[in-house]
Amino acid sequence: MNQVLLVCGLVYNECEYFKTKCQGCYAVQGSTFWAKEMPGKICPLYQCAINDNQLSSCGQCSQLPCKTFTEFKDPNLSDEQNEKSLIERVTRLKN
């Protein structure tokens, strides 16, 4: 099965919220259920890649991994888990 990636390199079918609380960042144009807590009510990675730079994902950006990408952390992850996630996501996006 092919992996379908989100803007940030997460895999749709690996997200526990996909198809329950969220239809995916592309479908909701970055306005995910958790983004209501963010400035502009949109994921900052979606805002940067799609809206500001007209890219299809962070993987098209020559600055990946940028400060926005590395500092945007899932609060449910430990620092070690976050570091592992960053490496995996960057690898997926650059392939």
Q: Where are the domains of the chain?
A: 12-94
- The pTM assigned to this predicted structure is 0.89
CB atoms within 10 A of CB 13: 9
CB atoms within 10 A of CB 77: 13
Mean pLDDT within 67-77: 91
Q: Is the pLDDT of residue 1 over 60?
A: no
pLDDT of residue 21: 85
pLDDT band at 2 (very low <50, low <70, confident <90, very high): low
- Provide the percentage of residues in the chain whose pLDDT is more than 70: 98
Q: What is the pLDDT of residues 14-60, one digit of tens each?
A: 888 888 888 889 999 999 888 888 888 999 999 999 999 999 999 99
Contacts of 39 (CB under 8 A, 6+ apart): none
Q: Which residue has tokens 């449910």? A: 76
